[in-house]
Structure 1
Amino acid sequence: MAGRPSPKKDTSSNYRKDAQRAEVAAETQRLKDYLAPTVAGENLFLEDIEIKIAGAHRTVHVVVDLPETESGGVSLDRIADVSRVLSDAMDADPQDDGRPYSLEVSSPGVSRPLTERRHWRRNTGRMVSVSPVRGDALTGRLLEVDDSGITLIPEIAVKKGMKPKQGEKMHLAFDQIAKGRVEVEFAHLEDEPAGEDADGINSTAEEA
């Protein structure tokens, strides 16, 4: 008995999705190049840009961070200031196609994965968890970051209710680290901006 023919895939729909993804990727990179000097002029670092398209409307989410030489989080005042200059820059963008947009500006917050050298440097002195390429994950105090890797004092697990013990200072090369993140400590909460981490901080500018 002959089987039923397989339904044809909607290649036109897939083509449109692929074309839109390519368009968004190209526009994201263009805006990164265009807006990075504006963010740097506010003594901040352009961490990332994400663009979402709904019909004719765009949402442009810009993530900014402090330079790696500064500690703490990006304050609400600095978010508001950089939001204003970014809005002005986008209004004056000579390559903008005129579509309406919403601008959202935030800082990454402590939940941001540590994926770049500057991320580690920004968090020197904090407790971090590290998953090595080989071996068990460990948690420790980040002491130093150099060109080759990180130096930390690991915490040794003890019985519940006992104060953690510290191990010997150790160095991990960047190519030995699979992933890392900051461990939130109550002693460092004052360093973070108010809100839901810093991801809830945003300023929106609507353009017709």
Structure 2
Amino acid sequence: MAVRSGNENQASTRKTAVEAELQAEAQRLRTRLQPVVEQHNLYLEDVDIKVAGSHRTVHVVVDLPEEASGSVGLDVISAISTDLSAAMDSDPDDDDRPYSLEISSPGVSRPLTEPRHWRRNVGRLVEVKPVTGDVVVGRLQEVTASGIRLLPQLPVKKGMKPKQGDPLALEFAKIRKGTVQVEFAHLDDEHTDHTDGAEPDSSGAEHHA
């Protein structure tokens, strides 16, 4: 049985303390930056802080409201970057350490972990990995308070048009992971309004203080 040395235990304790400090700082910045994001009619998805020496990298992820379609444009990212930078520069609780501000929007590669993520992708093709059972790929039809409903896409021979199965309902509690599938062709014209092609993985802007 391996026994940790005192130095290893101290290093582990320091690492845990630093991680807790960064999480607390990220939450504080989230509270400060959220009103700025909302002024641009966007949703503040996440704030994450990485530290290298005395330098900080603050990564802010913004998204469109649930009822909006499409993705956040580069012009919007640029505009909000200026306002977020001003909010951070005027932060009375900041410790004046240099920082880089990175702003991006989530793309189709983002895991669907919250009900709002699923609602933002109604009409798209998604892959669902349930807690138990086989992976299901299908067209997301509806999102309720407790789960989702989709039309499964049945496996067919290569080159054949995909076939749809019977509607399937899955509760959020029984979903282990969900992701949006990139599409290069649509099932039929019925879904054209909802599936306007793949979103880019992210749009980003960087500001250095």
Tell me whether the two structures share a fold, i.e. TM-score over 0.5: yes
Q: 1:7 to 1:163 in 2, by over 3 A?
A: closer
CA distance in 1, matches of 2:17, 2:164: 53
CA distance in 2, matches of 1:120, 1:173: 12
CA distance in 2, matches of 1:111, 1:58: 25
1:119 aligns to what?
Answer: 117
Which residue, 70, 88, 91 being the options, matches 2:68? Answer: 70
Displacement of 1:41 after TM fit?
Answer: 1.1
Which residue, 6, 18, 21 being the options, matches 1:20? Answer: 18
CA distance in 2, matches of 1:191, 1:45: 20
CA distance in 2, matches of 1:134, 1:14: 35
Provide the alpha-carbon RMSD of the alignment: 1.8
Which residue, 5, 24, 37 being the options, matches 1:8? Answer: 5
TM-score (norm. length: structure 2): 0.88
1:206 aligns to what?
Answer: 208
Q: How does 1:142-157 map to 2 (within 5 A)?
A: 142-157=140-155
Verify: 1:180 aligned to 2:187, yes or no. no
CA distance in 1, matches of 2:114, 2:87: 27
Other structure's SS at 2:59 match: strand
Displacement of 1:132 after TM fit?
Answer: 1.3
CA distance in 1, matches of 2:16, 2:174: 35
Which residue, 86, 89, 96 being the options, matches 1:88? Answer: 86
TM-score (norm. length: structure 1): 0.89
1:3 aligns to what?
Answer: none
**In structure 2, what residue type is equivalent to 1:45?**
Y
Render the CA deviation track for 1:15-66: whole Å, top value 9, x for unaligned.
3322211211110111111111111111111111110111111000001111
**In structure 2, what residue type is equivalent to 1:206?**
H
CA distance in 2, matches of 1:7, 1:61: 34
CA distance in 1, matches of 2:163, 2:198: 25
Displacement of 1:71 after TM fit?
Answer: 1.1
Q: Unaligned regions of 5+ residues in structure 2, if any?
A: 186-194
Q: Unaligned regions of 5+ residues in structure 1, if any?
A: 1-5
Moved more, 16-25 or 129-138: 16-25
2:199 aligns to what?
Answer: 192
**Between the two proteins, what is the percent identity of the paired residues?**
58
Q: 1:180 to 1:153 in 2, by over 3 A?
A: same
Q: How many residues of Structure 1 are paired with residues of Structure 2 in the alignment?
A: 198
